[in-house]
Structure 1
């Protein structure tokens, strides 16, 4: 999501109405991003509140207004990870949305393969890259900016993550077929 750089510059110069306008323009995407990590509404709202506060306090440090959105989402994702680490939970996400976006096999009874369980078995970096790419429709370049990694590394994370996810789903499908 691109923001008007004029509004961002106003916010950097201390205009609170401009900062609020930027947040309102991003509110839905912020909420669903936080919800995909935190899994429940209350924790997602806590993460958004903390991230918004941190963003407001450090807004003057933003050097390139055109990267406001990436900068804000990076703060939010870091805050989500901080809260998750604090609670020592596994990285959650909305399984139903991932099921719609990821190609998956179906069993003969039209039961979908358990993507959430398979995805939770992946490396932390692979999980994050896959969630940001498929669930949040971020480009590889945007994911690289959010995760503070080179573009080539993100491509590797996506490639290896999809490969491991496929293997895990096939393993789970094999186990399911043995017990049916």
Structure 2
């Protein structure tokens, strides 16, 4: 309810209310962008561009309860346009964060590689469902797909990821022996 009041104020031009909204969703925006871009600077650029576009267009938001969905959609469009402009250029700088010491980097790399083998729409479905905790109806609304298509994408992605990760495990064990 509090968020809806902030959205109403932001739609009327209250910049402080808009800043609070963006701050409340900044972690979600960052994590989502990083899943696609894998690079801190690009991720920050995408989040900043998203906030700017949302600020310019907040008055067009029809239903306050869909603010997060609307914001994520802007972010995804921004990411896709950035990737198109970049032509998926691989940056020279390392793509790991110093704070990720507690993570098992090998498992992360294997999962990231397995995700990269999936179709872009299937990747989006997986990332929204598992990393952003979107429900199937929310993903359907966000992507414009039917709920059945979302379920199919999830099923196929799980199966493909399992096969890819098992293949990675077999290759790892062969190289050790």
Same fold (TM over 0.5): yes
Q: What CA distance in whole angstroms lies between the structure 1 residues aligned with 2:169 and 2:160?
A: 14
1:114 to 2:110 alignment: yes
TM (normalized to structure 1)? 0.80
Asked if the contact 2:47/2:75 (under 8 Å) is kept, the reply is: yes
RMSD: 2.4
Asked if the contact 2:126/2:157 (under 8 Å) is kept, the reply is: yes
Unmatched 5+ stretches in structure 2? 90-94
Unmatched 5+ stretches in structure 1? 101-110
Q: What CA distance in whole angstroms lies between the structure 1 residues aligned with 2:41 and 2:175?
A: 38
Q: Render the CA deviation track for 1:72-123: whole Å, top value 9, x for unaligned.
A: 1110111112112221228xx98xx9xx8xxxxxxxxxx7482221221111
Q: CA deviation at 1:3?
A: 6.2
Go from structure 1 to structure 2 and tell me whether the alpha carbon gap of 1:120 and 1:30 turns closer, same or farther (over 3 Å shift).
same
Higher helix share: 2
1:71 to 2:70 alignment: yes
Asked if the contact 2:122/2:157 (under 8 Å) is kept, the reply is: yes
TM (normalized to structure 2)? 0.81
Q: What CA distance in whole angstroms lies between the structure 2 residues aligned with 1:33 and 1:178?
A: 35
Q: What CA distance in whole angstroms lies between the structure 2 residues aligned with 1:37 and 1:148?
A: 19
The number of residue pairs the alignment matches comes to 163
Match among 162, 166, 173 for residue 170 of structure 1: 166
